[in-house]
Amino acid sequence: MATRGTRWRTGVAVLSATVLAALGAAPQAQAADDAPSIVVQDGVTQPVFGYADAIRERLFIDSTFDSDNDGLRDIIAFDLMRPAATAHGLKAPVVMDASPYYSTVCRGNESECKADLDGDGLLDKWPLFYDNYFVPRGYAVILLDMVGTNNSTGCPTTNANQDNLSAKQAINWLNGRATARNAAGQIVKADWHNGKTGMIGKSYDGSLAMATAVTGVKGLTTVVPISGPTEYYDYVRSNGVITRGNSYVASLANTVTNPERRDYCKPVRDALAAADGDEHGDYTAFWNERSYVKKVPNVTASVLLYHGLNDDNVRPDHFSKFWYALAENNVPRKLWLSQEGHVDPFDSRRAVWVSTLHRWFDFWLQGVANGIMDEPRVDLERSADVWETHADWPIPGKADTEVFLQPGTTGAGGLGLVPTAKPATGAFQDNRTQSQNTMILNPDVVQPNRLAFLSAPLTAPLHISGTPTVQLRASADQTDTNLGAILVDYGTDERVAHRASGEGIITLTTEDCWGQSSPTDDGCYKQTAKRVATADYELVTKGIMDAQNRQSIRVGVPLVPGESYNFSFPLLPEDYVFKPGHRIGVIIVASYPQYSSQADTTAANLQVALKSSNIVLPVVGGTAAAHAAGL
């Protein structure tokens, strides 16, 4: 069997119960048969096992699917590292990061790839810090190659069933329900496993963790998805509008495929491109296969969810829809929300994140009673490096509050808690090339391609927490148009610069280290700092829809020119405090080219009935708080 480092580390022999007690270990940490065991001190597992001498393996599992249609079941490959003590009776849980990126885009802020430096078929350089940190604490770590990537066979299908079931194969093997072999073809068993696995990963890796969780597979105990898509339709569409087109799904599949296999996998990508519905943007069975939210009732694993509130890659509606479903199904859960964009918490709040992750895995995978589930459910970054804790999210006490669009006299319209007394109309024309800056800037100036509505300067803070919704009564002179809305904070303030390079962080030249090292791999990473900037306004959140999808995202129905309809669509979820003296702005547009990849071409003229139009804000404190703020 191809293994490395099977010698058990000298000095980590069985610790007596007396020594364990002195170290503060949990009583159950010492096995009855004097096998090696974890050591717990101060509520967390201690690094008492070796890293350089850990057992390293590369294993292969015959899957249950055939993504490339070659008549053979795909083979899923993964690299495994476990303490040498597992060869002497230590029972270890698994931390797994399943990814399509290990040989192409690679992982982390420093773009680490897997690397076999000496050509022996075993991994020498392990991306990320999970192996360095957790293996010495009694965990095994698996880095799994998603189907069609790196050492796995088949072809990627961009979050279709073959992608989604890749990690399940390894969990089945860990729990004795599948067969794995090494490169020599020898069967390898996971007789060292304690039966519990946690999955973690950012972006695509995070989606694979959630995809595995919604299968309900036995043995998956917890997942830690970081900024991962939960509804792939929402990643490339929004309420019927195509936000990423040109066969984006097929393009991503090409990106993650090893270059030497891209020609081979072209037929699979061509099938993806033919089925993705770029010609209409509606929701079809293609997207249903790539949906995790509706499958949350199957989840038996706990969830520690992380997302950047200003992530414009995997937008925040991915976390919110999944979070709402977790709550509806009483899934044990915690949530972190940061002010950055598509940034890993390791690079935004490193020390606290590692500590939280350590305690989370210790509780769910090692059975350490450390009280983490008794702490507030939500950590939320209010401003750069200023964090709050809350009992839940949305913040308890929020109430959906209607804020009505009011007509203006010479410039922008107003905002108020009651509709205008008399019917009034706002008119504008779609401009498919209008920039986001043009939409937002100079809100007091009437412009032909938008409607702008401003509150008076606030007299008290106004806190929104949740998902705002825009409700418009409108007509158009064409059979189709898009509709967009932007919520803006007009007021000078220092904020996290999430739209600048780094999406809110600056990568420094200094390093810190998290875990042990080997001659070929260390746990040291470049430190980061928050990037902040002072600006006169902040785009708080936004939303868009295709007017033809006003009744359903599954079917588009043309408009009758001149006929009025009710349009309702959500903005992206937010948690934001408008400060006293600032003004709340609502901008209404049609095409929104910086949000959509295929702007509407009709150049429709639109009329909005203001008396029947509003934005519903999830205000903490509801109408009373809105009144107190001067709305």
394 cis-preceded (ω within 30 degrees of 0): yes
What are the residue numbers of the active site?
Answer: 203, 311, 342
Q: Are residues 339 and 414 in the same domain?
A: no
**CATH value at residue 581:** 2.60.120.260
Q: Are residues 167 and 232 in the same domain?
A: yes
Q: Are residues 609 and 487 in the same domain?
A: yes
Q: Are residues 403 and 375 in the same domain?
A: no
**CATH value at residue 47:** 3.40.50.1820
Kindly state the tokens that stand for 1. Answer: 């069997």
User: Token pair 């057992």 is at which residue?
Assistant: 55
- pLDDT reading at 265 higher than 60: yes
DSSP E strands, 502-582: 505-513, 524-530, 532-546, 565-570, 574-578
Within-domain flag for 3: no
Tell me the per-residue pLDDT of 542-568, one tens digit each, with 9 for 90 and over.
999 999 999 999 999 999 999 999 999
Could you count the other beta carbons within 10 Å of the beta carbon of residue 406? 23
User: Which of the listed residues 390, 411, 427 is the one where a domain comes to its end?
Assistant: 390
Q: Are residues 377 and 439 in the same domain?
A: no
Looking at residue 33, what is its pLDDT?
61
Angle at 603 between CA 601 and CA 604, to 5 degrees: 120
Looking at residue 410, what is its pLDDT?
76
Within-domain flag for 30: no
Tell me the per-residue pLDDT of 23-35, one tens digit each, with 9 for 90 and over.
333 333 344 468 8
Run of H or E including 563: none
Q: Are residues 357 and 487 in the same domain?
A: no
Burial 47-79 (b: 16+ CB within 10 A, else e): bbbbbebbbbbbbbbebebbbbeeeeebbbbbb
Tell me the per-residue pLDDT of 269-311, one tens digit each, with 9 for 90 and over.
999 999 999 999 999 999 999 999 999 999 999 999 999 999 9
Q: Are residues 294 and 274 in the same domain?
A: yes
Please give, one letter per residue, the 3-state secondary structure of 244-289.
CCCCHHHHHHHHHCCHHHCCCCHHHHHHHHHHCCCCCCCCCHHHHC
Looking at residue 8, what is its pLDDT?
32
Q: How far does Cα 609 stand from its chain's mean position?
A: 37
Q: Are residues 378 and 406 in the same domain?
A: no
Kindly state the tokens that stand for 262. Answer: 């891209």
User: Which of the listed residues 372, 390, 408 is the one where a domain comes to its end?
Assistant: 390
Within-domain flag for 32: no
Looking at residue 15, what is its pLDDT?
33
Looking at residue 389, what is its pLDDT?
98
Within-domain flag for 69: yes
Tell me the per-residue pLDDT of 204-247, one tens digit each, with 9 for 90 and over.
999 999 999 999 999 999 999 999 999 999 999 999 999 999 99
Cβ contacts of 85 within 8 Å, gap of 6 or more: 8, 9, 12, 36, 49, 138
Within-domain flag for 29: no
Within-domain flag for 489: yes
- The rounded distance, in Å, linking the Cα atoms of 325 and 331 is 9
Percent of the chain at pLDDT exceeding 70? 95
Q: Are residues 227 and 181 in the same domain?
A: yes
Tell me the per-residue pLDDT of 158-215, one tens digit each, with 9 for 90 and over.
999 999 999 999 999 999 999 999 999 999 999 999 999 999 999 999 999 999 999 9
Looking only at the bridges linking them, the beta strands covering 333-338 and 302-308 are parallel
Q: Are residues 479 and 337 in the same domain?
A: no
Q: Are residues 246 and 266 in the same domain?
A: yes
pLDDT, mean over the chain: 94
Within-domain flag for 1: no
User: Which of the listed residues 357, 390, 423 is the one where a domain comes to its end?
Assistant: 390
Total of domains in the chain = 2
Q: Are residues 304 and 339 in the same domain?
A: yes
pTM above 0.85, yes or no: yes
Range(s) of the domain holding residue 503: 398-629
Within-domain flag for 16: no
